[in-house]
Amino acid sequence: MRIFLSSSLIRFCLFFLGLAPLSLSAQDTFYQKDSVQLIEIFFSFSNWDAKLDSAAATESYIIADSVRINGESFDSVGVKYKGNSTYSASNKKNPFHIELNHIKGNQDYQDYTDIKLSNCWSDPSFLREPLGYALLTPYMHCPKANFARVYVNNVYRGVYSNAETINKDFISRHYYASERPFFKCNKPNFQSSGNPNLVPSGWDSVNYYAQRYEMKSDEGWTRFITMMYALQNDTASVDTILDVDRALWMHAFNNLTVNLDSYTGGFIQNYYMSEDNNRRFSPTVWDLNMCFGSFTSLSSGAPLTITQMQQMSPTAQSTSTSRPLISKLLAKPRYKKQYIAHLRTMLNEMIVSNDYYTEAQALQNTIAPYVLTDTCQFYTYQKFLTNLDTAVVTAGTSTKIGLKQLMNNRKNYLLSHAEFQNAPPSLNTPVLNNANPSLNSTVTCDDSNNQCNECVSWTSERKLEKI
């Protein structure tokens, strides 16, 4: 038997061979998890905050004299405030978007030109965004993330989460080698009508852009709308235009971590859709600053209580007509089985193993000395320490559930749920003629004992394709 190796297959092979995962992108240190970056912004004027506030209304950049990243200086850099709920003119600490090549097109730091710095608003633990991406990385393409110490005009502004920007460079590294349709699916603000829910509403792009979707490529509306109609009306062949498996991984992650500021939750947003080299649309998760139960809206109803988040159904939204990317896929028995398998895999590998907590502790220890001296943060240092384990009260009576408080109870609930009572199939280890395959290479799989057929029946991100 000859098997064509996709990036998914490489991860599959390495997983079952017990080898370290293969990195499919260039190595760098800017998003190294165990490091805290140093970013210094220099303006020639002292009223830089007022200027950034004024520019925020039109999402415009103001020009910094220079930005220094870990000692490397760049001049004439675009800087602006970003975010909907996370930005406020009254904040002492607002999120930044830094564009190194805004004026000088050849400026980059380790091949990165856009830098997104989040202010850890609504996250006393500071951990949610970097931890979420770290846990999601083994299952689907997503941004890298860590932390940065930020100074403006030599004054310390505190610790920020530093997440890789999803732009054309990111998409080309992960999904395609040439220009293809690429869309941001996000409400521009909370007052916008409609949600980017992938429900089709005609063939005129005017029905979609501005309020719900933003095309980041030069063209692609027809392909994007075609995908919506296939999802709505033709799930039998939707996998020819949609990477169904990757969508199921996204839903499993959102559900397990109660990441409700997402397609699963109330605003049905915070993801990108981009077409890969197989001409299938793939979702990419973004904006995880409120995962692990910080955002509590599952629908238009009342916010979820702590107990409701801990016991949220693994098939939440599976009957929602306003979320066809969930309901239409889970209505198909095969896809529902894949989804439950993915959820079980994440539960076992991330939560039952306690890897999520070990990772969270490491991140907390890395940033603790810098959070201690962060006078602009929204919470006390004690709440930063406490929120890893238990809930803390933030503004007024608002409560942010502890990460361990959420996930340990969620683990117990899911393990006892009826959907998890069926025994999963037992997989043999594939015998390959090449233990270290490269992308797009061909390997031979020993098909004795029907090993490969058994693997093929277990479809997931680690998927074998026979040719």
Which residue, among 124, 440, 166, has the nearest Cα to 294 in the 3D structure? 124
Amino acid found at 455: C
pLDDT band at 371 (very low <50, low <70, confident <90, very high): very high
Residues 6 or more apart from 370 whose CB is under 8 A from it?
36, 147, 149, 158, 159
pLDDT band at 438 (very low <50, low <70, confident <90, very high): confident
pLDDT for residue 21 = 38
pLDDT band at 171 (very low <50, low <70, confident <90, very high): very high
pLDDT digits (tens, 9 = 90+) for 321-367: 999 999 999 999 999 999 999 999 999 999 999 999 999 999 999 99
pLDDT digits (tens, 9 = 90+) for 380-428: 999 999 999 999 998 777 899 999 999 999 999 999 999 999 888 776 7
CA distances for 234 relative to 198, 263, 327, 429, angstroms:
14, 21, 13, 35
Residues 6 or more apart from 435 whose CB is under 8 A from it?
13, 17, 19
Whether 255 and 247 have beta carbons less than 8 Å apart is answered as no
Whether 122 and 400 have beta carbons less than 8 Å apart is answered as yes
Handedness of CA 297, 162, 217, 244 (dihedral sign): negative
